[in-house]
Amino acid sequence: MRRILITGASRGIGKSIAERLLIEGNKLSLGIRDINCFDNTGLDPKNNDNILVSQYDARNKESMSRWVNYTINKFGSIDTLIHCAGIFHRTNLLFSDEEEYQIKELWETNLLGPWYLTREVWKELKKNKESRVITLISMSGKRSKSNLAGYTASKFALMGLCQTMRNEGWDSGIRVTTISPGWVNTDMAKDIDIIDKSLMTQPKDIASIVASILKLPNSCIPFDISINCNLEK
């Protein structure tokens, strides 16, 4: 049984991961903006003592501290951190003055949010010799396609940050994994019509990958898992 923090659990990949890990008997602390979004669902904390829900904003460091302290007080410790929260903007290289705010939002949410939260929980992770940090990146954090300059830059930076997390945590038994999917059947891909939704990677399949990683020993944890539902040339 693990004591797990998950960001971005209110929908999509994060929600599927939370549902799967709860079934497997873990204790879940879910950081979300709307703390009532799980009312009368399988992730409702009122119906399961293994679930904690706390308000969390990736751009608010105070919300991170409250969430982490709340989790430690309830579960006693934290041994797993899963970063799923992220935003998407179609910010081009030659962005307009009106779009400049998008770069800041991408940077603060996709990079600085995971960075600050990891720093906040790092001391707890070091107490356990088999802690895990799993971060949902994107294939956009490994290569640049089209003209998504802002989003791609934020994801490349996040990938670099995770490489340093791996270096920093290795001797303490903290193992870091990045998961880099292409098209996933979530709200972010709702307007994509170049591939049928049924042929995209499904959130529940990524949840299965995460569940498998958490069962592996320190000696065979992959750092980066790339997932593609279509052939890239």
Catalytic residue positions, numbered: 151
Helix (H) or strand (E) holding 53, with range, is strand 51-55
Longest CA span, the chain: 50
Q: Which residues contact 120 (CB under 8 A, 6 or more apart)?
A: 61, 64, 65, 68
How many CB atoms are located within 10 Å of the residue 8 CB? 26
Residue with tokens 């049924």: 198
CB 145 within 8 A of CB 101: no
Q: In 3-state terms, what secondary structure has residue 28?
A: strand
Tokens of 165: 């997390």
